């Protein structure tokens, strides 16, 4: 590798251009800040996406190719790690929002104080957040309106107070949503249209979203879905202050003599090494890769990884597990038709209720079976091949739907991301190794939520129901959090309430790494709202982060 001339120093360098990195880029560039962004993956245009299940799902067109970007996993430190595509997220401009379906519920006020609400849980490292719902609410509102979200204010009776409604009414109600709402109504449970990163009508200069079977886990060739790629990246680029460099893989963050971050060293598309200096660095690679980059950045001051004097970087990692009850209906439901677009949710079993015998709960929602499809469609319990398998495919494909859950898994000190000492990626860097044992609470909560999901299907008219309990945590939601907790105590957290490293004052981590608990809801709305909040703080303190004379920003408030 050759070393290229050093580019101009930047005011802010954002590493990653997914949900949080693109939000930060929009907020900072629109406020006049010049930003350099380093994204390891390509900057794909909408013309490069298609309705191709084989390419997108089975051939890693959007998922990381495990031969290039492997990960390893194990259930305890005592056992060898095996190669596993654990909790993958697309690595490209737009990140997980490129292929998501975009369920965007808000967290509830109690999500920010679960330790207080539920008390201690043996074996878990529950913690309250250093911030509350009220502090985040204005940013939820900004993201919903800037990004373009369709939903119905007030419909989720467990939601916290809102400063206003959604910019667009809910997306059309699907046939499977009708079954879901009917089931919930019969049981006396609250249900609501799922807030969706899509436009039910033209908004903000963008046309209404095309409803297609090729949505969940597919890119969007129409450019009509709300994603970081379609919305925040172009908005940041339009300022002329967003120097977004795709195919630039940051290998290490380098300190200066004073212990502040000096530069990010990256390998560019030509395979050459480049050193980018900046006043301020925002890490936005997702909770697994952000932790990995911190751990890869070792120095005399931080021999165990950057900002890791507490030994907490990578620990307390949480992943949502997706599982479902599957119902068969006499009338066709065509649950493939939304491509994972759900349109009906319930938070009835979201809040903590000690009578249930476990901590917290999760979001349940109507969904297709085994989306994406049809290749990857499969009725649980059916044979894999032969005449009977074909019969089940034929009879159930148009007549089945799922009610799925977002499992709120508990943080544990020993559940962690670290570096695998036995495997490197295609760029020669040690890969992320996941060590994770599900907490008893995760399994109990999962069974409870799947049982309730099955009841919704039965009450909604299903002829038969199959339950698929989550027996382990595999990261199959792509949701990842907790690897650099925020908190007020530097001994018990990596970041302060502004997601600024306690030990490195010009380093902020703005993705889900900061979340002390994973909650039972889809995290990306909160990730974007929190990134916006952090950037507002950075803007309010602009100038303090210059090369010299910096005050700890936490003290400035």
Q: State which of positions 203-262 bind another protein (CB under 8 A).
A: 210-214, 221-222, 224
Residue among 269 and 540 whose Cβ is closer to another protein: 269
Q: Smallest distance, Å, CB 304 to another protein?
A: 30
Residues 52-71 that bind another protein (CB under 8 A): 52-55, 57-61, 63, 65-68
Binding mask 332-351 for another protein (x = CB under 8 A): x-x-xxxx-x----------
CA nearest to 322, candidates 359, 353, 286, 362: 362
Q: Choose which of 373, 401, 406, 528 interacts with another protein (CB under 8 A).
A: 373
Measured from the CB atom, the residue of 84 and 137 that comes closer to another protein is 84
The minimum distance between CB 553 and another protein, in angstroms, equals 40
Distance, CA of 105 to CA of 219 (rounded, Å)? 21
Q: What is the 3-state secondary structure (H, E, C) of 315-351?
A: ECCEECEEEEEEEECCCCCCCCCCCCCCCCEECCCCC
Min. distance of Cβ 309 from another protein in angstroms?
35
> 32 vs 172, which CB is nearer to another protein?
172
Of residues 18-57, those binding another protein (CB under 8 A):
47-55, 57
- Interface of this chain with another protein, residues 391 to 410, rule: CB under 8 A: 393-394, 397-398, 404
Among 321, 409, 442, 505, binds another protein (CB under 8 A): 321
**Separation CA 301–CA 303 (nearest Å):** 6
What residues have CB less than 8 Å from 369, skipping those under 6 apart?
324, 326, 335, 377, 378, 379, 396, 400, 401, 402
User: Is residue 82 a contact point for another protein (CB under 8 A)?
Assistant: yes
* Least distance from another protein to the Cβ atom of residue 281, Å: 27
Q: At a CB cut-off of 8 Å and minimum separation 6, what does 79 contact?
A: none
User: Is 130 an interacting residue with respect to another protein (CB under 8 A)?
Assistant: no
| 172 scored as a contact of another protein (CB under 8 A) | yes
Between the alpha carbon of residue 513 and those of residues 65, 70, 287, 292, 316, the distances in Å are 23, 20, 4, 11, 10
Q: Shortest gap between Cβ of 54 and another protein (angstroms)?
A: 4
* Rounded least distance, CB 381 to another protein, Å: 12
Residue 422 lies near another protein (rule: CB under 8 A): no
Rounded least distance, CB 358 to another protein, Å: 20
Closest distance of CB 517 from another protein, Å: 22
CB of 58 to another protein, least distance (A): 6
Task: Report whether 341 contacts 211 (CB < 8 A).
Answer: yes
Residue 527 region by backbone torsions, left for phi larger than 0, else alpha for psi between -120 and 50, else beta? alpha
Instruction: Give dist(CA 373, CA 320) in Å, integer.
Output: 22
Neighbours of 504 (CB within 10 A): 21
- DSSP assignment of 516-549 equals SS--SS--HHHHHHHHHHHHHHHHHTTTTTSSS-
Nearest-approach distance from CB 182 to another protein, in angstroms: 15
| Nearest-angstrom CA–CA distance, 93 and 229 | 6
Of the candidates 296, 539, 336, the one whose C-alpha atom is nearest the C-alpha of residue 431 is: 296
Partner residues linked to 480 by β-bridges: 319
CA angle 1, 284, 62 (to 5 degrees): 75
- Residue closer to another protein (CB basis): 63 or 189: 63
Q: Would you give the binding string for another protein spanning residues 481-520, x where CB under 8 A is met?
A: ----------------------------------------
Minimum separation from the CB atom of position 93 to another protein (A) = 17
Binds another protein (CB under 8 A): choice among 359, 410, 470, 509: 470
> 491-500 burial, b if ≥16 CB within 10 A, otherwise e?
eebbbbbbbb
Choose, by CB under 8 A, the member of 2, 257, 384, 555 that binds another protein.
384
- Residue 289 contacts residue 418 (beta carbons within 8 Å): no
The answer to whether 182 contacts another protein (rule: CB under 8 A) is no
Q: Is 2 in the site for another protein (CB under 8 A)?
A: no
By CB under 8 A, residue 426 contacts another protein: yes
Number of residues forming the site for another protein (CB under 8 A): 71
Cβ 432 to another protein, closest distance in Å?
15
Tracing tokens 């977004």 back to the chain, one arrives at 244
For 275, phi then psi, to 5°, come to: -115, 120
Q: Does 190 bind another protein (CB under 8 A)?
A: no
- HEC states along 142-201? HHHHHHHCECCCCCCCCCCCCCCCCCECCCCCCHHHHHHHHHHHHHCCCCECCCECCCCC
Candidates 5, 188, 386, 428; binder of another protein (CB under 8 A) is: 386
Q: Using the rule CB under 8 A, is 83 a contact of another protein? A: yes
Of 385, 543, 555, 557, the one binding another protein (CB under 8 A) is: 385
> What radius of gyration, in Å, describes the C-alpha atoms of the chain?
22
User: Closer CB to another protein, residue 30 or residue 53?
Assistant: 53
Nearest distance from C-beta of residue 366 to another protein, angstroms: 12
Q: How would you write 410-425 as a 3-class SS string? A: CCCCCCEEEEEEEEEC
CB of 62 vs another protein, minimal distance in Å: 10
With CB under 8 A as the contact rule, which of the stretches 89-97, 119-127, 236-244, 383-391 interacts with another protein?
A: 383-391
Residues 86-115 that bind another protein (CB under 8 A): 88
Is 17 strand, coil or helix? coil
Q: Is 214 or 232 the residue whose CB approaches another protein more closely?
A: 214
Q: Is residue 1 close enough to count as binding another protein by CB under 8 A? A: no
Instruction: Give Cα separations from 314 to 47, 71, 257, 430, 487 (angstroms).
Output: 37, 14, 26, 14, 15
Contacts of residue 122, defined as CB under 8 A and 6 or more positions apart, other chains included, come to none
Rule CB under 8 A: is residue 540 a binding residue for another protein?
Answer: no
């Amino acid at each position: 590798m050759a070393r290229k001339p050093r580019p101009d120093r930047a005011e802010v360098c954002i590493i990653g251009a997914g949900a949080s990195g693109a939000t930060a880029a929009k907020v900072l560039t629109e406020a006049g800040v010049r930003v350099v962004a380093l994204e390891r993956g390509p900057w794909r245009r909408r013309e490069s996406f298609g309705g191709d299940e084989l390419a997108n799902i089975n051939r890693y067109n959007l998922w990381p190719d495990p031969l290039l970007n492997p990960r390893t996993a194990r259930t305890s430190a005592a056992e060898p790690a095996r190669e596993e595509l654990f909790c993958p997220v697309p690595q490209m401009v737009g990140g997980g929002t490129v292929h998501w379906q975009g369920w965007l519920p808000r967290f509830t006020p109690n999500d920010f104080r679960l330790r207080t609400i539920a008390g201690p849980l043996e074996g878990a490292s529950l913690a309250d957040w250093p911030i509350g719902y009220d502090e985040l609410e204005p940013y939820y509102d900004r993201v919903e309106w800037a990004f373009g979200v369709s939903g119905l204010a007030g419909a989720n009776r467990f939601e916290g107070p809102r400063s206003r409604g959604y910019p667009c009414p809910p997306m059309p109600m699907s046939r499977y949503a009708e079954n879901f709402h009917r089931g919930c109504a019969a049981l006396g449970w609250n249900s609501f249209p799922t807030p969706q990163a899509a436009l039910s009508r033209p908004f903000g200069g963008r046309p209404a979203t095309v409803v297609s079977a090729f949505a969940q886990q597919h890119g969007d060739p129409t450019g009509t879905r709300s994603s970081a790629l379609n919305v925040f990246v172009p908005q940041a680029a339009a300022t002329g202050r967003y120097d977004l460099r795709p195919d630039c893989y940051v290998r290490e963050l380098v300190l200066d003599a004073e212990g502040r971050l000096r530069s990010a060293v990256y390998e560019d598309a030509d395979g050459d090494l480049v050193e980018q200096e900046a006043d301020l660095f925002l890490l936005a690679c997702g909770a697994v890769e952000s932790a990995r980059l911190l751990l890869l950045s070792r120095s005399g001051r931080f021999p165990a990884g950057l900002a890791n004097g507490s030994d907490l970087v990578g620990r307390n990692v949480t992943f949502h597990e997706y599982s479902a009850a599957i119902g068969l209906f006499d009338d066709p439901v065509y649950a493939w038709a939304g491509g994972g677009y759900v349109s009906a949710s319930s938070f009835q079993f979201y809040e903590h209720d000690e009578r249930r015998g476990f901590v917290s709960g999760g979001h349940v929602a109507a969904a297709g079976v085994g989306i994406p499809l049809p290749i990857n469609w499969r009725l649980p319990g059916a044979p894999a091949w032969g005449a009977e398998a074909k019969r089940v495919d034929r009879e159930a494909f148009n007549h089945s739907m799922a009610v799925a859950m977002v499992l709120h898994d508990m943080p544990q000190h020993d559940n962690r991301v670290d570096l695998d000492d036995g495997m490197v990626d295609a760029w020669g860097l040690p890969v992320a190794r996941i060590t994770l044992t599900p907490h008893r609470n995760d399994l109990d909560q999962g069974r409870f939520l799947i049982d309730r999901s099955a009841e919704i299907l039965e009450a909604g008219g299903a002829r038969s129901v199959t339950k698929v309990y989550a027996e382990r945590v595999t990261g199959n939601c792509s949701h990842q959090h907790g690897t650099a907790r925020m908190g007020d105590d530097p001994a018990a957290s990596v970041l302060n309430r502004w997601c600024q490293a306690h030990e490195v004052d010009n380093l902020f981590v703005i993705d889900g790494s900061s979340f002390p608990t994973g909650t039972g809801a889809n995290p990306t709305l909160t990730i974007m709202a929190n990134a916006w909040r952090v950037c507002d703080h950075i803007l309010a303190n602009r100038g303090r982060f210059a090369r010299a004379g910096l005050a700890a920003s936490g003290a400035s408030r």
